[in-house]
Structure 1
Amino acid sequence: MRTDMDMVLNDTSRRIAARRALQDLWQPGCDFLGSEVAILGGAMSWVSERHLVAAISNAGGFGVIACGAMTPERLAEEIVGTQALTDRPFGVNLITMHPQLNDLVAVCLAHNVGHIVLAGGVPSGATIRRIRDGGARVIGFTPALALGKRLVKLGVEALVIEGSEAGGHVGPVSLTVLAQEILPHLRNVPVFVAGGLGRGDAILGYLEQGAAGAQLGTMFAASEESIAHAHFKAAFLRANARDAVTSVQLDERFPVIPVRGLSNNGSRRFLQHQAETLRRFQNDELSREDAQLAIEHFWAGALRRAVIDGDIEEGSVMAGQSVGMVKAVRPVKDIIVDLIEQAVDALLRRDERLHNTHPESALVK
């Protein structure tokens, strides 16, 4: 007859086995990143700076600095500041359309940044070679299988596939579909999934489809270590998934890059601004070029106003649909621990079902 102690020991053994199974699943991602767990921090302008990046890396994940529109000098300061807060690996996200991209790459290499993430466009083969020749590893984004294969041929060593559920600038396809289209066919490089992720059991599902790890942004934007304004974080706590919507384009002649954020007075005024700009264009008050610039410049500085100044009514409160799962402002370490435990619990639940039907397949016999 099994004693209570036997049951405790068995439960402990099963949990250890489940942790080992999870580690095996994302070990390729950990090996590539040099981290304990294959969880990357999404690069969010004004949010992914030294404090949040270091906190993610110190908690066993992989933080990523969002360079955005920084100058090379400003990026150098941020890298040095991050290195003062952590001795663990972290990366830098560079926008490929930045006019000083080559200088930014040089700054990263000069400061021994081990991983550079190239986003916001298709990087050139020359840029990829420059990074790899300098001793850093290259991560790219792909919204489609064909581009992913092309990037790998160009020398990109790992990929992120980001679904439309993500916050900020997004593509049109959900992560659920992207994973099915890409993961079975790209096995020669680590592929990290992103977009709408807020729980470890969901991450586990993608790992079992072949992903090497996951990237999360929204969950970390509302963490204690995030420098985002208290009003910004409070907006996350109040929001539901349906509140995180993409910007609307009124006229196909004037394209609007889809950006997902919380609906507010600013997003409503953007629609009015587009309508007024279109009226002025149609009345020959504005040229097509000036009308396009007027639309594009509407949000200039809006993200900073929301993140730093706390203007959540007129600013751009970028957030993914996982915002509905943000229930409290918590330390980064607790967020990562919870993600791990949720994945382990999911493995244990499945193991229990297997044990009841096929005892020989259980984690611990």
Structure 2
Amino acid sequence: MTKLTSLMARGVEFLGCETAILCGAMSWVSERNLVSAISNAGGFGVIACGAMTPDLLDAEIIATKALTDKPFGVNLITMHPLLFDLIEVCARHDVGHVVLAGGLPPKGSIEAIKQSGAKLICFAPALALAKKLARSGVDALVVEGMEAGGHIGPVATSVLAQEILPEMAEQLPVFVAGGIGRGEAIAAYLEMGASGVQLGTRFVCANESIAHPNFKKAFLRASARDAVASVQIDPRLPVIPVRALKNAGTENFTAKQREVANLLDSGAVDMTEAQLQIEHYWAGALRRAVIDGDVDGGSLMAGQSVGMVTKEEPVTEIIATLMKEAAAALERRAA
């Protein structure tokens, strides 16, 4: 058994795949084609449910199962108004792993997921939250730093990993995410106690990704410093910052926040509705970029590892390269 295989063994066993590399759930990108390709290549694909209705999720799971007989997961957003219906859809299809993202799991959701026999993975952006989630029965954690694409927390991956892995890695599998673009980083986090890693940005330009050619081109042209976090203009608005490539869509979001803040002021909407409007803005802007190819007005959600995405290639190549780099890094250290 190689050093890499032994370090990944726990993650591999937990996920039921060959390589403990999860694909981050990217709305509109992590759908049947990319998810099945990653699972078929030995990694772990995750469907991004995002704002899907239960019927849409039902169809997506069926379509993914038609393309792979390997395990894959489903990522659900905690603030989805139909969260419990979506959990029921996952249970009906015997989805083995459910990932909950976007805040603390609402009352009863952990029990509902575990009841179906699925393993539950949650995001822990802080040590206190990691401990709380472990106590409440979560099966594994994803520690995601601010270098990631899409919705982000305020702390860097390297800091979170140092803080959370020594405390939590013995209790349950912990996967590290955010800013990972090469195998050397994977090796380092595994040696620190991680059971595996999660990458999103690195898979956007896979041949199997349905992202629009314009969207992929923007990724291939970008450097790390082009992936910037959105700015919150009103402290009352519950806006989680989003990391994306800078474009006109970034400016439009500032205008959207002003509009929602004015609606709050006039009493036209309450806080929950305000937050949903912001989320719907992102879902729409992301769709325009990923599906329609509007790279100026849409949202180009990307992590800072975007500079390491240099060509369009098959998923099998991406995973093989990452594993080769990680194995080589571990060998160099052993020598």
Same fold (TM over 0.5): yes
* 1:269 positional shift: 3.6
Note the C-alpha offset of 1:286: 5.8
Identify the residue that residue 293 of structure 2 maps to in structure 1.
310
* Cα pair distance change 1:258/1:191, threshold 3 Å: same
What CA deviation, in whole Å up to 9, does each residue of 1:32-59 have, x standing for no partner? 0001010000001101000000000000
The separation in 2 between residues aligned to 1:190 and 1:198, in whole angstroms, is 21
Q: CA deviation at 1:298?
A: 5.1
C-alpha contact 1:125 1:154 (8 A) present in aligned 2: no
Alignment match, 2:47: 65
Offset of residue 152 of structure 1: 1.2
Q: Distance in 2 between matches of 1:127 and 1:216?
A: 26
Choose from 73, 77, 92 the match for 1:95: 77
From 261, 270, 287, the counterpart of 2:266: 287
Q: Does 1:158 align with 2:137?
A: no
What letter corresponds to residue 315 of structure 2 in structure 1? V
Contact map agreement 1:28 1:190 (CA 8 A) in 2: yes
Q: Residue 214 of structure 1: SS of its match in structure 2?
A: strand
- Shift in Å at residue 129 of structure 1? 1.8
Q: Distance in 2 between matches of 1:299 and 1:84?
A: 30
The answer as to whether partners of 1:232 and 1:306 remain within 8 angstroms in 2 is: yes
After TM superposition, give the deviation of residue 25 of structure 1 in Å: 0.3
Return 243-252 or 119-128, whichever deviates more. Answer: 119-128
Q: Deviations over 1:147-196 (max 9, x none)?
A: 11111111100000100000000000000110011000002100000000
Question: CA, structure 1 residues 210+277, in 2 after alignment: closer, same or farther (shift >3 Å)?
Answer: closer
Task: Tell me, yes or no, if the aligned pair for 1:125 and 1:155 is still in contact at 8 Å.
Answer: no
Question: Which of 321, 326, 329 is the equivalent residue of 1:343?
Answer: 326
Give the SS at the match of 1:161.
strand
Q: Show the counterpart of 1:177.
A: 159
Q: CA deviation at 1:287?
A: 1.9
Task: State the structure with more CA Rg.
Answer: 1
Q: Do residues 225 (structure 1) and 208 (structure 2) align?
A: yes
- 1:105 pairs, out of 69, 81, 87, with 87
Report if aligned partners of 2:94, 2:116 keep a CA contact under 8 Å in 1: no
Q: In structure 2, what is the Cα distance between the partners aligned to 1:112 and 1:147?
A: 28
Residue in 1 that maps onto 2:113 = 131
Aligned to 2:56: 74
The 1-side partners of 2:136 and 2:302 are apart by: 32
TM-score (norm 1): 0.86
- Is residue 311 of structure 2 the alignment partner of residue 328 of structure 1? yes
Measure, in 1, the Cα distance between the counterparts of 2:251 and 2:131.
39
What's 1:11 paired with? none
Report % sequence identity. Answer: 61
**In structure 1, C-alpha distance between the alignment counterparts of 2:79 and 2:141, rounded to whole Å:** 19
Structure 2 Cα separation of the partners of residues 64 and 276 of structure 1? 34
Query: Which residue of 106, 122, 133 corresponds with 1:140?
Result: 122
2:180 to 197, 200, 205: 197
Change (3 A) 1:35 1:97: same
SS of match in other structure, 2:6: helix
- Taking the aligned partners of 1:126 and 1:300, their CA distance within structure 2 comes to 26
Q: 1:62 corresponds to which letter in structure 2? A: F
Structure 2 distance, partners of 1:73, 1:299, is: 21
- Quote the residue 1:168 is aligned against: 150
2:2 counterpart of 1:23: no
User: Does the 8 A contact of 1:247 with 1:256 survive in 2?
Assistant: no
Ranges in structure 2 where 5+ consecutive residues have no aligned partner: none
Residue 127 and residue 232 in structure 1: after superposition, are their counterparts in 2 closer, same or farther (change >3 A)?
Answer: same
- Indicate yes or no: 2:221 matched with 1:238: yes
Greater Cα shift, 139-148 or 309-318: 139-148
- Deviation track 1:59-103 (CA, whole Å, cap 9, x = no partner) reads 000000001111111111100100010000000001111111111
Q: Which residue of 2 aligns with 1:55?
A: 37
CA gap of 1:351–1:262, structure 2 versus 1, over 3 A, is: same
Q: What is the count of residue pairs matched by the alignment? A: 330
Aligned pair in 2 of structure 1 residues 256, 150: CA closer, same or farther (>3 Å)? closer
Question: What amino acid is aligned across from residue 227 of structure 1 in structure 2?
Answer: I
> 1:363 maps to what in 2?
none
User: How far off is 1:257 after superposition?
Assistant: 2.1
Structure 1 residue identity aligned to 2:63: G
Secondary structure in 2 aligned to 1:91? strand
Residue 260 (structure 1) aligned with residue 239 (structure 2): no
Displacement, 1:112? 1.1
Question: Which residues of structure 1 form unaligned runs of 5+?
Answer: 1-16, 353-365
CA offsets 1:260-289 (integer angstroms, 9 cap, x no match): 0000012134345656887xx5xx996266
Counterpart for residue 25 of structure 2: 43
Deviations 1:318-342 (A, max 9, x none): 0000000000011111000000000
